[in-house]
Structure 1
Amino acid sequence: MKKIFFMIFIYIFSSSVFALDKRSIDQDSLLSLKLQKDGIAAGRLGDFELALKNFEQLYKLRQKMYGVNSVRLASPLINIGIQYKNLGNFDKAIESYKKAESLCLNDMGDNNLMLGTVYVNLGNIFRLDGDYNQALEYQKNAYRILKKDSAKYIMNFQDSKYNIGETQLKLGNNKEAIRFTQLNLMTISPQLKPLLYDLIASAYRNEGEYELAELNYLNAINTWIKLYGYYSEGVISEYLAYSSFLMSQKNYEKALLYSTKAKSIVLKFYGEKSTTYAEVQSNFGDYYYLKNSEAGQIDDFRAQRKKYLNEAIQYYQNSIVSLVDSFQIKDPFAEPPLKNVISDIQLVEVFKKKALSMEKLADIYLSEFDYKNSIKYYNASLNSLSNAIDLIHRLQIGFENEDSKFFLSQNQESTFLEAINISYKLYSQTKRFEFIEKAFEFSERSKSSNLLASVKDVKAKEFGGIPDSLMKKENILKGNIASYNSLLFEENHSEKPDSQKVNLYSAKIFKYNEEYNRLIDSFEKLFPQYYALKYENKVVGIKEIQSKISNRQSFLEYFVNEPESKTGKGEIYRFLITKDSVNFSKESVDYSFVNNIQSIHDFLVNPNYLYTKKKDFVEYSVAAYGLYEKLIKPVAKKLNGTSLTIIPHDKLSYIPFDALLTQLPDTSVMNFRNLNYLVRDYAINYSYSATLLYDYFDQKKRSSKSLLVFSPKYDSQESRIDPETAVSYILSPLPGAKDEVKGISKFVSSVSFVDEQAQENTFKEKASEFDILHLAMHTIINDSVPMLSKLVFSKPDQKSTDDGYLNAYEIYNMKLNARLAVLSACETGTGKLQRGEGVMSMARGFIYAGCPSIVMTLWQVEDKSGVKIMEDFYKYLSKGKRKDVALRMAKLNHLNNSDPLTAHPHFWLGYVNIGNPEPLYTSKDVYFVIFLFITLLVVLADWQFRRRRQKRRN
């Protein structure tokens, strides 16, 4: 729950900021002193508009006195930012702080300690806006700068320590938040002590230590009262926090008592248009929503449940009214315009609460066969969720920190699930196509949204008129950030990290991030077309997909809600789209579904595949058929043709659907060769999302050169050290790689770099010139920091500036023109599963760099079988086959010619195609048809000529 303690902030910032400016006060005019004094007084009284007016006049006066570039303007700018923050105008606050930052940096750089005050305030803004990772960066840098003279800047320094602890809590690092906060509890200023108690209480609550949580909530309340009395702003927020805790413990009446206490004093400090008043209203809504659940234990209480839910809905609507400045309508069916929102992140949560209450009410009406009211409330619930999702998009695009974007995706995935669920309920009742369209839109907007936003950003830069010089500057800054991130990761993971180096690298990263963000801000202001394209909130629709697939293709997209426990239930939502039909269905699943995914994955990646036991064969067969029953079988008769495009979700991304079995085999005999794999029936292609697949790549582009192949040399007698982790690897030679190079070169004209010639710098120089990239090499996967996963090239000589490792972040900074990248390296399709985003594999980097199609591996494929599969793949590719069809035919060739040992799925199922599946070359069948057509035309022409000549003779 968000808590905004304005009085504490005002006290801290005004007392310290104004103290900082003493050196200039002696030289200021009497008017300057009066404006400052009046601004302080108005801010402490809570008249933020009057305070803003005074500080703006002070800023203009000092401009005249000292010039527009004087560091003496920083103090009024900081205070202008504080007033804007208190008024909820975060954009204006950030603008003021950034101006102050620039003045401080131009004055003395990091040695101007007022910069620490700027960063404390900027960190608070990003925290309030939900961008917690970005907030943490500012808070750490504030701490680093203010520590240089912590006695002089004691209040700001202590505040930065509190902020670090609270942001750790927001990021879910509860134990670290408790440790850090308790460490500072005895030395913190009295004004901050209740905040620390509250922070500790929240962390204990998250950890399930409820007695310790309650003890610290009460400590926080009592400390507030001792400091400021019973009618203070801090007490309001703590009453609300404690009330929320009591409701979680089902102590509803006591919770209501504390919410009522908060309401009785809230309007003394805030108007109805404020985040704090909105929180009060939301707390009352929570009380009635949770009371509804208790009443629901007795069937006779249906009327009581409806009454409670209507009360909850009304309070949530009141909260919405408080959070949208231009909106006054308290009718729960009225939705606000998403303009002049006081807090986007808080409004998202209230929309979700209102939607869930509407859904519960609709469920009750449905159970009473009141279909009219059930549809009415389901629709209202869906509208509220749609607003929440629009705000999530706005937050995600606006966040500057990549980790914050991932954090938001992970935490808001449940919002998309609920929207799909409500859409399904409405579709089940009405059978209206619009609800399938809505559900599919929500599913698409949840899929790899950060990757999609990144690709969209690249396209926006291409078409937004941004000069090459600025694009080059952006790439340099991104490269600097990535390099220092790599150095920082390496130092932090060394046996004895050097604190001086850690601080230096952290400061460099922060500095370059600041420059990068300023550059992107300038893009948005100076190039309106870029801004419009970047913030466009559009995903591909069902009809658009139907217009782009043939009669022999089917499209399947999944959204999975896994069971939360071994006894719980979950759901699979499935969209099947063919050229002329759409099917939207739901399957209920239990924990065996999760076990089946894990079982198949473990079986396929097991390095001891040569020693597979009959028990393993049986478990795989049962699991593979069990998944087929849930994922494919219910719609098998509706599938068109022999090509499937699949958009998986969550853990489904870890398994190839080829491995599913369409029939449960006779398990009395272990025989992998005769199993009914799904690949026997379909060519299967994958994508992170339909929008990425169909909307964001130029399918007509083609480089002048055909195929670029790399096959490095590895020495098993010499270790290679990962520069980031310092882990030593013995990379065994890949004898099959050279055979692979020769084999594929028979079918496609190629330029090959083998052994010592396969250098990282050569790839960087040549890659953009080729239509196909083929990399037969080792990969090092870093699940902790996916951007530090890497492709391993031949060891460079001592003169080289490259280290022989192509990191994922370096691929992101490349611009590729290839239509296909074949990553015939180990595990290029694996990586950390990021909820709401998918698998963080090497393939993502190639997609971001502009490559629309990737063939990658899901595990370490056996050498000889891999060579043959790749050779056959290129053979069929050169004949004009689609990529997925060529890969399927290569796999089936292996299976049909295998013995009982090499028929094991580990040998041949590891390759998958992700992205655009269309052919790269014109089929020879087409040439044959053209030849026949031309021949027919010649015959007809000859016949016509002979006929006319015969007529003339007659």
Structure 2
Amino acid sequence: YLFGYLGDKAKVLHLLANKENNSTYLASALQLYQLGDALIDQLRKEHQDQDTKLFWRKQAIPFYENAIGTCYQMQDVENAFFFFEKSKAILLLEAMQTSGALQMIPDSIRNEFQVLQRKLLQTKESLEQATTVQKEIITKNLVELQQKLETKTEQLAEVYPKYFDIKYGTNTRSLADVQKEFSASKEKTGVHFFYGKKNIYALTINAKNSKLYQLGATPTIETEIKNFLSFFQKSSAIENAPADFLQQAQNIYAILLAPLSLGTQEELIIFPDGALAYLPFEALVTAPSEEIGAADYLIKKHIIHYGYSATIFSKQNKNQTKLLHHGIAAFAPFADASAGAAYATLDFSKDELGEISQELEGVFLKNKEATKQAFLSKIKDVSVLHLSTHAFSSPTESKPRIVFADTSLFLSELYGLDISANLVVLSACQSNIGKLSQGEGVMSLGRGFTFAGAKSLVSSLWNVNAVATSNILSDFYKKIENNTPKYQALHAAKKAYLENEKIPSYERSPYYWAGLIYYGDDGGVVLQKKTSNFLFVKVLLFGLVLLAGFYFSRGRGVTASSGNTS
């Protein structure tokens, strides 16, 4: 009730400001919105259940939209940025902070807490598949587990108050902080979106300045977005109507990015919101174009990567992963038909792993060896996890999953894992889409891996083409070998594919190359290069030649000396 009261009073003050042309009312409304945000944080702290937290995130969206609208009228970019940050991915941020906070408590207590969390997730999973009779028993167990988790959390808060402060701390990055971080790269601009029920806003951030924009009415823009995304439902959609696609891609650019006066900044980091999270921004067209393979795509003007929020992006850049070694663990459960007939064979996954294994040291498991347990055994001690397999999700799917040779790994299970990898590559279909949870984000497998601790990931927005994806990823790995920033390596690999004139024009449509996107830090990854057998043989032969030469010259020297003294 208090939350609703604060929001209603702030709206009245906003109306009075407009009626009486008095900005003092706007300042007072802003104070109420800040107070309401603190109340939202308190509600989040009081609930352990993720579904309840997600419910409150959804309820808060109209509140944040009104707050941003007030900031827009005041042209208060700094406070607008604060509300942009607080309106998305807060539960993901909380998970990242919890992971850090748990390191402050003894191992035995931490393990007990994590086991309890996993049991809760497993019980929820079983409830969805239970019969009517079973549901009563499972629900009772679920309530007991939730109570135990709440009790354990309260105990931790009492004995380890710093744990509680870090876990629930809502110190999002300030606009000044982000601008300072961006100052290291003068060519970087952040584009922060807010997807409200009434309007869509954008906020640009770079080292020099920031600006807030109102882009238009959400229903109108949403229709345009749906029309654009319809071209990626199957590979032939763009091929069958190239002119329509190019026009729609230019329409979306005109709505979302053209008003922002981005200039010549080379790098863009996009913080999408709502349905914008499904968009491949690289595929937007900046000028009238006629040919699919040679259109003026945004990828030709900007290096683009993505972030969940500016605060999470900052954390990912600061967190240094400590690993036992710098290898890669790659899995291809369906490289040939030997894995069984339950899923289609992915012929190119064999070639994908083959090319990577020629360049890098690591573990490469195919077919029946690529099991879920084999994957789980590697999640804490390698730099890169690469999954070339089947994945299933959609904007209406509540249970995304990725498939191994023996069974599937569900999104709900990812929430209970502890992954230390610097990079996760999901060479699978639909791995970065899922059900949209307003106020938090898309519940995708990609988000799940980030939730579990992955520092960065490459994932897909639709049913990507296997051949094109394999080519792009093979090139990507060659480019990151020398510690090139991961997002730059993916950009270069996609751009190289687009500009390869040996590939037919229709196969250079965005359907083939724009589906893979990068979320995460802006650093590189250390990998162990494989010593070439050919190189080894050359070195060995060279050494033998030197050794033979040494002994031959030594033998000739001894003979000559003997002759001289006789």
Q: What TM-score, normalized by structure 1, do the two folds share?
A: 0.53
- Map of 1:780 onto structure 2: 392
State how 1:299-448 maps to structure 2 within 5 Å.
Answer: 346-366=1-21, 374-427=22-75, 435-448=76-89
Letter in 2 for 1:473: E
- Distance in 1 of aligned mates of 2:135 and 2:237: 47
Point out which structure has higher relative CO (alpha carbons under 8 A, 6+ apart). 2
Tell me the residue number matched to 1:858.
461
Equivalent residue of 1:354, what SS?
helix
Do the aligned partners of residues 710 and 655 (structure 1) sit closer, same or farther apart at CA in structure 2, a change above 3 Å counting?
A: same
Amino acid at match of 2:454: C
Write out the 4+ residue segments of structure 1 that deviate beyond 6 Å after TM superposition.
Answer: 714-720, 782-785
Q: Structure 1, residues 782-831: CA drift from partner, whole Å, max 9, x if none?
A: 76774x42211012xxxxxxxx2222222222222211111111111010
Task: Tell whether the 8 Å contact from 2:157 to 2:163 is kept in structure 1 after alignment.
Answer: yes
Distance in 2 (alpha carbons) for counterparts of 1:479 and 1:397: 20
Corresponding position of 2:534: none
Asked whether the 8 Å contact 1:734–1:777 carries over to 2, the reply is yes
Query: What are the Cα deviations for residues 447-476 of structure 1, in whole angstroms up to 9, with x where unaligned?
Result: 1112112222222222xx321111111222
- Given candidates 160, 182, 195, the residue that maps to 1:560 is 195
Q: Secondary structure at the match of 1:557?
A: strand
1:655 counterpart residue number: 279
Aligned residues: 523
Using a 3 Å threshold, how does the CA distance of structure 1 residues 581 and 574 change in structure 2: closer, same or farther?
A: same
Structure 1, residues 211-255: CA drift from partner, whole Å, max 9, x if none?
A: xxxxxxxxxxxxxxxxxxxxxxxxxxxxxxxxxxxxxxxxxxxxx
Aligned residue for 1:456?
97
496, 507, 510: which one aligns with 1:905: 510
Q: Judge conservation of contact 2:331–2:387 (CA < 8 Å) in 1.
A: yes
The residue that corresponds to 2:405 in the other structure is: 794
Q: 1:467-496 CA deviation, whole Å, 9 max, x = no partner? A: 1111111222222222222222112xxxxx
2:182 matches 1:551: no
Counterpart of 2:78, as a letter, is E
Conserved 8 A contact 2:425-2:457: yes
* 1:826 equivalent in structure 2: 429
SS at match of 1:580: coil
2:192 and 2:272 in contact (8 A); partners too: yes
Equivalent residues of 1:361, 1:377 under 8 A apart: yes
What SS does structure 1 have at the residue aligned with 2:292? coil
State how far apart, in whole Å, the 1-side matches of 2:270 and 2:206 are. 12
| Residue aligned with 1:806, SS | strand
Q: 2:439 is matched with which residue: 827, 830, 836?
A: 836
- Equivalent residues of 1:456, 1:696 under 8 A apart: no
- On the 8 A contact 2:352/2:470 being kept in 1, the answer is yes
The Cα of 1:636 is off from its aligned counterpart by: 3.4
* 1:625 maps to which of 250, 261, 276: 250
Cα distance in 1 for residues equivalent to 2:455 and 2:208: 26
Determine if the alignment matches structure 1 residue 692 to structure 2 residue 309. Answer: no
Deviation of the 1:673 alpha carbon = 0.5
Pair 1:443–1:697, CA change in 2 (3 A): same
What are the Cα deviations for residues 700-758 of structure 1, in whole angstroms up to 9, with x where unaligned?
324213211111137879988xxxxxxxxx42010100111112233332221111110
**Residue in structure 2 matched with residue 314 of structure 1 by the alignment:** none
* 1:588 counterpart residue number: 216
Q: Distance in 2 between matches of 1:620 and 1:349?
A: 43
Q: Is the 8 A contact 2:267 2:304 kept in 1?
A: yes
**Counterparts of 1:391 and 1:699, CA distance in 2:** 29
| 1:326-349 superposed Cα distances (whole Å, 9 cap, x missing partner) | xxxxxxxxxxxxxxxxxxxx1111
Distance 1:602 1:529 in 2: 48
- C-alpha distance in 2 between matches for 1:771 and 1:587: 40
Find out whether 1:487 has 2:111 as its counterpart.
no
1:574 aligns with 2:202: yes
Alignment of 1:61-80 (within 5 A): none
* Mapping of residues 651-730 of structure 1, within 5 Å: 651-666=275-290, 671-695=291-315, 698-703=318-323, 704-713=325-334, 730=342
Q: Hey, what's the Cα distance between the residues in 2 that align with 1:752 and 1:845?
A: 23
Match of 1:762 among 348, 353, 374: 374
Structure 1 gap segments, 5+ residues each: 1-345, 367-373, 428-434, 492-496, 563-569, 721-729, 796-803, 923-954
SS of the residue corresponding to residue 363 of structure 1 reads: helix
1:740 aligns with 2:352: yes
Q: Distance in 2 between matches of 1:744 and 1:718?
A: 21
Which AA in structure 1 matches 2:179? Q
Compare the two structures and name the one with the higher strand fraction: 2
Q: What SS is found at the alignment partner of 2:331?
A: strand
Give the distance between the partners of 1:459 and 1:554, measured in 2 at CA.
Answer: 29
Alpha-carbon separation, structure 1, partners of 2:396 and 2:187: 41
1:823–1:854 contact (8 Å) kept in structure 2: yes
The residue number in structure 2 matching 1:950 is none
Report if aligned partners of 1:826, 1:860 keep a CA contact under 8 Å in 2: yes
1:421 to partner: Cα distance: 0.8
CA distance in 2, matches of 1:784, 1:480: 26
CA contact (8 A) 1:825 1:856 kept: yes
| Structure 2 CA distance for partners of 1:718 and 1:513, relative to 1, 3 Å | same
Distance change in 2, residues 1:785/1:806 (3 Å)? same
Matched-pair contact (CA < 8 Å) for 1:702–1:771:
no
Q: Distance in 2 between matches of 1:637 and 1:413?
A: 27
Partner Cα separation in structure 2 for residue 690 and residue 436 of structure 1 = 15
Judge conservation of contact 2:335–2:348 (CA < 8 Å) in 1: no
Preserved CA contact (<8 Å) 1:554 1:639: no
Contact kept in structure 1, 2:336 and 2:346, CA below 8 Å: no
Which structure has the larger Rg over C-alpha atoms? 1
**Mapped partners of 1:860, 1:836: distance in 2:** 26
Is the CA contact 1:707–1:770 (under 8 Å) kept in the aligned structure 2? yes
Alignment partners' CA distance in 2, 1:878 and 1:422 = 48
| Structure 2: distance between partners of 1:455 and 1:709 | 25
- C-alpha contact (below 8 Å) 1:397/1:453 kept by paired residues: no
- Residues 142-291 of structure 1 correspond to what in structure 2 (within 5 A)? none
Which structure features the higher share of helix residues?
Answer: 1
Q: Given residue 456 of structure 1, which amino acid in structure 2 is its aligned partner?
A: Q
1:477 to 2:82 alignment: no
Tell me the equivalent position of 1:80.
none
Question: Quick one: distance in 2 between partners of 1:838 and 1:481?
Answer: 22
> CA RMSD of the aligned region, Å?
2.2
- What are the superposed Cα offsets for residues 141-161 of structure 1, whole Å, 9 maximum, x if unpaired? xxxxxxxxxxxxxxxxxxxxx
User: CA deviation digits over 1:37-64, x for unaligned, max 9?
Assistant: xxxxxxxxxxxxxxxxxxxxxxxxxxxx
Q: Provide closer, same or farther for how the CA distance between residues 500 and 637 of structure 1 changes in structure 2, counting only shifts above 3 A.
A: closer
Q: Distance in 2 between matches of 1:844 and 1:712?
A: 22
1:637 to partner: Cα distance: 4.4
Deviations 1:759-783 (A, max 9, x none): 1111111221101111111113376
> What is the match of residue 236 of structure 2?
610
Note the 1:791-940 alignment, pairs <5 A: 791-795=402-406, 804-897=407-500, 898-921=503-526
Separation of aligned partners in 1, 2:314 and 2:191:
14
Q: Which residue of 1 aligns with 2:564?
A: none
Shift in Å, 1:547: 2.0
User: Which amino acid counterpart does residue 446 of structure 2 have in structure 1?
Assistant: A
